[in-house]
Chain A
Amino acid sequence: MAELDPKEARQIAGVELNALALAGVLQLDLFAGGEVSAEATPIHDISGEVLFYRLAVVRRTQQIATVDIAAHAVLGDPLIAVSAGMAWNPEALLGEARQVAGRNKRLKVGEADEVRFVAYSYPKIAVQFLRGGEELAMLELFTWSVVPPAETKDRRPLQPESFERWSLVTEMPARARRTRAAAYAERLALHRQLNSDLVAYRIDPNRWADVFKISLVDTRQIAYSLRPGDHTPCYELRGQETNVWCVGASAQMLLDFYRYEYTQTRLAQELGLGTKANPNGLPYSQVGHVVTALEALTGNGLDVTMLTNPVFSKFRTEIQANRPLISFVPGHSRTVAGYTESFIAPIYSQPYRGLLVYDPWPPNAGVITKWENYATQTYQYAYTALVTKI
């Protein structure tokens, strides 16, 4: 059962947008004068539960954004996403889905007695046709590809393939589920305690100036040292020298920061990444080897630790201590050298969180990502490196 109804979802959406616009996280001029639509479209989980509501934000006759409000505690926060410039017309989408599915006689969607939106692989959405509660077909939104049926796969939770249906509600590990439920409940309670006579669904941020207390954005990036006077960014990007040496290049960036100069060819040798003429990536079975390689290359001058599923606070703690990290995401490695975070009281505990990522991709160039939306990436492993002291 959903934790909140569509009416409350609209209320929360309005309060969140006013707060974010007032804080400058959202562009004020894009949202001012808008209104959150009364129609909240339920988006279901694969398990059938309502996962979140999607609402349009309109100004006069024009849609200016959509906002997703969590209806299920597994999402960990009432506000999931604000998409500026995105139009949301559920009726038109359902019509298009019916039209496309109707052309495929095998799908028999004409017999459907229920049609709904489903986050088949959160945040990817599909349209599901049902009859008597049984699925007739599921089509991915916009591409209208038929989402294949669920298969029993021997894989870890939350590591689906690119076009696989899976349930966020059932795959969320118990511990994360508890943490998220607590965070969600806390934020929902803050919303329910908010004492204001303002019409929440109207976006008029300046009228909310007395309601919210906006604290400064907390941001930091790797500097020369921890002394405030030295706070000049001090970290350099290295592009990977072959199309599969992301781990080598990431190790190089981290080691360069500590003034250990190694070529990627030498690092590849130590990490088992082949030669420049015949390179290979780091197998998943070897992720622990990064620790031993980095410690060996620094004569144990660095104490390296591998973290599984690192959370944002771990990145923040390391950056605050002026220590860059290596970050593994599915199929790729990069380094993290900064973070940003905004707080808005009384309704916000976890607003926008971004990481400053030094990404060795593309080869021989690399990019500096400022910012990577923490909410949209999957962080599998991180490596911290601590200078050992005598």
Chain B
Amino acid sequence: MADTELVRSSARAFTDAPALLGEPLAVRDNAGRLSSWFVPMVADDRLVGFVELLPDLTHRRTSWFRHHPDSSEGCPPAAWWLDAGTVLEHARPEMRAGESAADPYLSFDGVPDRLAWAVPVGGPHGPRTVYVAGDTAWSGVATTGLG
């Protein structure tokens, strides 16, 4: 597996704001396999965008939360996507009484385009996954089609 410094330096080629690149996070599928690398771009504690690279470091996409180049307005707080503690806080309303959460990991719900944190939870209802994307949390099978 590529080391994170190598991932970040590879991401530099795919953004016009390389100075904003932060620490890469591994995106894993529900079997724990590496699906891609998420390299965040952060400005003023806001997640303004990210570069996504495949495991072999091929460019997948460069995406921006900011709608306009010079404004961070509307961009989510970086902690929503980069801080596991904040992710857990957002997952909590979806958890039922008696359930406890294991460590969250960056993943996706169903298909790689639907990036989300996965929070494995266990308890009286058996193991399941709560997904968190920004401040939105949900659980269960999301969709059988396009969502």
Contact = CB atoms under 8 A, between A and B. Distances in A.
Main secondary structure of the interface of B (DSSP, over half): loop
B10 A247 contact: no
Contact of B147 (A66, A163, A245, A369): A245
A247 B146 CA distance: 7
B103 to A, nearest CB: 19
Nearest to A83: B57
Interface in A107-150: 123, 125, 140, 142-143, 145
With most chain A CB atoms within 10 A of its CB, the pick from B7, B74, B135, B146 is: B146
A142 to B, nearest CB: 5
Interface string B44-65: 0000011000111111111111
Contacts of B56: 66, 81, 83, 86, 123, 125
B100 interface: no
Q: How large is the interface on A (under 10, 10 to 19, 20 to 34, 35 or more residues)?
A: 35 or more
A140 B138 CA distance: 31
A125 B58 CA distance: 13
Interface stretch (A203-211, A221-229, A302-310, A326-334): A326-334
Interface string A28-48: 001000000000000000000
A367 B58 contact: no
A332 B113 contact: yes
Interface stretch (A194-202, A276-284, A292-300): A276-284
B64 A286 contact: no
A388 B76 CA distance: 39
With most chain B CB atoms within 10 A of its CB, the pick from A83, A142, A331 is: A331
B34 A142 contact: yes
A287 to B, nearest CB: 8
Interface residues of B, number: 49
A142 B13 contact: no
B34 A143 contact: yes
B13 A286 contact: no
Nearest to A237: B67
Given A365-B134, A373-B60, A331 B147 contact: yes
Interface of A: 26-27, 30, 66, 81, 83-87, 123, 125, 140, 142-143, 145, 162-163, 236-237, 243-247, 280-287, 328-334, 357, 359, 361-365, 367-373, 376
9 nearest CB pairs, A to B: A281-B143, A331-B111, A281-B147, A244-B147, A85-B10, A362-B133, A367-B63, A283-B145, A363-B136
Given A123-B58, A143-B33, A246-B147, 16 more contacts: A26-B13, A27-B13, A85-B10, A86-B2, A280-B147, A281-B142, A282-B147, A284-B144, A284-B145, A331-B147, A357-B63, A367-B64, A368-B65, A371-B62, A376-B54, A376-B58
12 contacts: A84-B57, A87-B6, A145-B31, A163-B31, A243-B138, A281-B146, A282-B145, A333-B146, A364-B135, A376-B54, A376-B59, A376-B60
